[in-house]
Amino acid sequence: MICPLCQDEKSHIFEKIGEKTYYQCQYCSLVFLSRSELISPVEEKERYENHHNSEEDSHYIKYLTTTVEKISMIVPKGASGLDFGCGKSLLMEKLLNQQEVFVSSYDLFFHRNEEVFEKKYDFILLSEVIEHLRAPNKELQRLTGLLKANGYLFIKTKLLTSEIGDFKNWYYRRDKTHIQFFREETFLKMSELFHLQKIRDLKDDLFLFRNNG
Ligand SMILES: [Zn+2]
């Protein structure tokens, strides 16, 4: 099974859960669902349709605000950014714009404006996105190519750590649209592969990288 992140060909079965087989890459330690066992894009979209990420939902606003505050501490006013995989709502874009950080949004299912790939950005945000990508290698190549020199990449995802314990019952694993799980080591290998430098853990599952390419 080829690793969808680093494309190494050596992976071993990490865990079989019902019909699903998870592999772990020997090189980058990514844990990933067999690519022949993914749900269909139609089912995937339906699941996102049912996410209650409404702009009127105060919990959702609070959840996004945590990320917005962290980004505004790092990037200066007037910076340009891309919210890749924004989902249905453009609320993140709106909240960042209020901080005078100017964001474009893209989503494969809901906001497919390809012109975002024609610009370069001071930063790119992948908020709860990287665990969903069918081809993370391809997407990261494309996205890191859109970063300006020393541009920032913010990645929000739950790391797979030894504290998780029971992988089978981990709520993050049980989401059918989550098809790969990153470890601390995976981030290090990913940084090498995509010419990034891991800067720091910003807490609340948000990690900061800088373009070194
Ligand atoms: Zn790998």
- What does each of the 213 residues of the chain score in pLDDT, given as a tens digit? 999 999 999 999 999 999 999 999 999 999 999 999 999 999 999 999 887 666 678 888 899 999 999 999 999 999 999 999 999 999 999 999 999 999 999 999 999 999 999 999 999 999 999 999 999 999 999 999 999 999 999 999 999 999 998 999 999 999 999 999 999 999 999 999 999 999 999 999 999 999 997
Residue 70 CA to ligand 1 center (angstroms) comes to 29
Neighbours of ion ligand 1 (CB under 5 A): 3, 5-6, 8, 25, 27-28, 30
- In sequence order, which ranges of 99-159 are alpha helices (DSSP H)? 136-144
Per-residue model confidence (pLDDT) at position 60? 87
Give the strand order in the sheet containing 20-25: 11-17, 20-25, 31-33, 180-181
Residue 27 CA to ligand 1 center (angstroms) comes to 5
Per-residue model confidence (pLDDT) at position 53? 67
Residue 137 CA to ligand 1 center (angstroms) comes to 9
Residue 163 CA to ligand 1 center (angstroms) comes to 21
At 91 the three-state DSSP class reads: helix
Q: Would you tell me the crossing angle of helices 91-98 and 58-74 to the nearest 10 degrees?
A: 50
Q: What is the DSSP letter of 183?
A: -
* Domain 11-211: homologous superfamily in CATH: Vaccinia Virus protein VP39 (3.40.50.150)
Per-residue model confidence (pLDDT) at position 50? 82
Per-residue model confidence (pLDDT) at position 55? 66
The model carries a pTM of 0.96
